Amino acid sequence: MALYSEKVMDHFTNPRNVGKIDDADGVGEVGNAKCGDIMKIYLKIDENQIITDVKFNTFGCASAIASSSMATCLIKGKPVSEAIELSNKAVIEALDGLPPVKIHCSVLAEEAIKAAVKDYYDRNGISYDPAMFEEKDIHE
């Protein structure tokens, strides 16, 4: 079996939603200290708390780029409350799997989205349960 699924290869070689939103309503940046990869997510959110646009910049491995691309596709047009529920497991499933040593790359996507939503909440004085944004323990 190939190391990477066709979907991973597709989202790596042709990533969706790459870039930056200058007037973003929420920005999240996360990194993994072990591999040094960095992911930044920009959200544009309307008055109904719907994510109308999302862009990402990832300095990282193929799995990190594919995960960010897939994650942006999964949350675009969705309410913020749904985006915050997006798990790295859902990203992996949507990509038809990732090798076990690459699981942390998908966690980066989940955390970047959460960080961007947290930034949006903070900027707008929206209260939330801090437990929603606690970092995950990753076991590989």
Active site residues: 35, 105
Rounded least distance, CB 120 to ligand FES, Å? 24
Choose which of 12, 27, 42, 63 interacts with ligand FES (CB under 6 A).
63
In the chain, helix, strand, coil percent, each to 5? 45, 20, 40
Choose which of 32, 49, 69, 88 interacts with ligand FES (CB under 6 A).
32
Q: Which is nearer to ligand FES, 21 or 35 (CB)?
A: 35
* CA distances to 7, 22, 81 from 114, in Å: 24, 19, 10
Q: Which stretch binds ligand FES (CB under 6 A): 41-49, 82-90, 97-105, 116-124?
A: 97-105
H and E: helices and strands count for the chain: 5, 3
